[in-house]
Chains A and B, each alone.
Chain A
Amino acid sequence: MNNISTKSPEELVIEILSTGQKVTLTRAESVIDALAGIGIEVPTSCQSGLCGTCKTRYISGEVDHGDCILSDEEHQEYLTPCVSHIKGGTLVLDL
Chain B
Amino acid sequence: MTLLEAHDLTKHFPLRRGLFSKALGAVRAVDGVSFTIEPGRTLGVVGESGCGKSTTAKLVLKLEEPTGGEIRFDGQSLQSLDADGIRRYRKSVQAVFQDPYASLSPRMRVGSIIAEPLVTNEKLAKGEAKKRVAHLLERVGLPERAADLFPHEFSGGQRQRIAIARALALSPRLVVLDEPVSALDVSIRAQILNLLVDLQRDLGLAYLFIAHDLAAVAHMSHAIAVMYLGKIVEYGPAKTVAADPKHPYTQALFAAALPAHPDEKRDEIILTGEVPSPINPPAGCHFHPRCPHVMPRCSTEVPPLGVALGREVACHLYGGAP
Do chains A and B interact in one complex?
A: no
